[in-house]
Structure 1
């Protein structure tokens, strides 16, 4: 047994049997018709991997197609403005991914004349690309050997090998990466990597996994020990705090007054209602919305004012009148866009 799997499940298959089992299953039951799989274009893979961070495949597909319509090549993305990039990303959330993808395209254009290297070590020097994304690009774009570990792979490995530590812990993360590096094949790495992800996404799911359809169940520690529901070990539950927020609605028949947020706050450089620390005097409540961030929940109230001069002295950035038609052409935070979509027909 390889070094990484010492003290783990004694039922685990050796690497060659394990990866060939995954490859055979993927060819018959895995996902093989995703848009970024069809041409195996390295740029398409790059875009898809950034979009798939923290977002499900079904959600990404229409955004991926729209993105390629506006930025068909790495060069067109590299030469685009940040506002153009953020506008086309609108709706996917986690806008840092869009900025990192833009920076990655510019770096690749400047450093490699628009070519994407096939070596994980070189890919990890690209802005916004970490070990997982480097491995994914190497495997999916070039079919070269590379390890990749995301939430799906962690779940599969924790159950299969009987890893007891919380998968986000340093010890578990190190062990899972060691296993990933020990188990990938020298050939057909594209199918193997996709197979691992597909198993996690469609079979070895967080709740109610379909173990009976899993090709690895006969040698899976969790299945053999009837501990599928226990693994991966869940981290201690944290209480997510709720914070208030106050935003201002000022509109007229032509449009609505918005401000472009600074680069050091939430929703950096996106267009939004102006935000204040407390409700302005004599303001009427226009509405409210909620939004959940990774570390807290925002409970926002939107206050209506009649004229922008009432805010001039309290804002760090200026207001700009955005026409109702122009709203679809600027980058807005998802909750602000939803609020506008709801109230635009009756702007007040």
Structure 2
């Protein structure tokens, strides 16, 4: 199958079976396409749709996103994970306003100057928003191309990625770039799936090398596995005499960067030492701790064992609200950007133990 047949067959399939009614297809513009592409990184379409709709309602354009408080942006991202995406989204929106006069750039080079936009995301914006010929290489496209060309190795390796970009550029047609890019993403998401691909329904079956060899399960190659380290922490739900809880803003970079979370204490403390630890680390006296069922939360590069404990503040606390710490009632806390496990812990502690 030639490169032209590849695109032609894919487009014929897309016309009949592709997804034509996703929320970002309506009132299509660079801003809406960009936000959807960032949300879709590491996240499935079904999960993204309600987040996208709520995000658009609150931040309908680049200006609204650029001028909003970061806490508001993070609260609308809470639950999507990979929170650096949300912070980078706002940084890029501010760059569009400051450096491009509020108009989204329409070249690969300019798009890639925006925080959080790489080669594939820039290509998707060019094709989807501006109808320009531009190759993309998200996870779904990588899977289609590694199987079709039987490209060995893990796609995260530089040499493998270079081959895949060459194939992506070769197959992208001059016409109907918008439909082609959506079609190849749809094919990977719905037919050429990670496990049990529906090869009999695939418009590219005739030219697929992995299918011809009966080796679709071998592609793409797996990422070399490393044992994830295990970490442990105490998370304390400190409640003052007004029924407010103490939240702390996490550092801007790293895990849950910029989100609000519960104070943490060194796991070396025993349960019977938590009162003393609160006094030493946070500066006030507490009553007896009430332990809540612990749970494990998995990040991309380690497992975190969280042991929550609820403590009532018995005296006047020495912490005052500032940019990094706040005493809030639960309904106020839930309006902020919180990591999903912390949100669950504050609303339904029993459910958190099942995470």
TM-score of the two chains, using structure 2 as the length reference: 0.88
Q: List structure 1 segments (4+ residues) > 6 angstroms apart after TM superposition.
A: 308-313
Counterpart CA distance in 1 for 2:42 and 2:78 is 15
Q: CA deviation at 1:308?
A: 7.7
Q: Does 1:338 align with 2:308?
A: no
| Corresponding residue for residue 251 of structure 2 | 262
Q: Does 1:184 align with 2:148?
A: no
Preserved CA contact (<8 Å) 1:249 1:286: no
Counterpart CA distance in 2 for 1:332 and 1:14 is 50
Counterpart CA distance in 1 for 2:314 and 2:95 is 41
CA distance 1:147–1:309, shift in 2 (3 Å): farther
Q: CA deviation at 1:179?
A: 1.1
Preserved CA contact (<8 Å) 1:258 1:272: yes
| Corresponding residue for residue 203 of structure 2 | 215
Preserved CA contact (<8 Å) 1:290 1:335: no
Structure 1, gaps ≥5 residues long: 1-12
Preserved CA contact (<8 Å) 2:330 2:346: no
CA RMSD of aligned residues (A): 2.2
Q: CA deviation at 1:312?
A: 6.5
| Corresponding residue for residue 328 of structure 2 | 322
Counterpart CA distance in 1 for 2:164 and 2:248 is 45
Q: Does 1:89 align with 2:95?
A: no
| Corresponding residue for residue 305 of structure 1 | 311
Structure 2, gaps ≥5 residues long: 276-288
Preserved CA contact (<8 Å) 2:105 2:111: yes
Counterpart CA distance in 2 for 1:265 and 1:178 is 33
Preserved CA contact (<8 Å) 1:286 1:303: yes
Of residues 50, 59, 75, the one that matches 2:63 is 75
1:209-248 equivalent positions in 2, closer than 5 A: 209-248=197-236
Counterpart CA distance in 1 for 2:72 and 2:325 is 20
| Corresponding residue for residue 36 of structure 2 | 48
| Corresponding residue for residue 105 of structure 2 | 117
Counterpart CA distance in 1 for 2:73 and 2:314 is 29
The 3-state SS of whatever aligns with 1:238 is coil
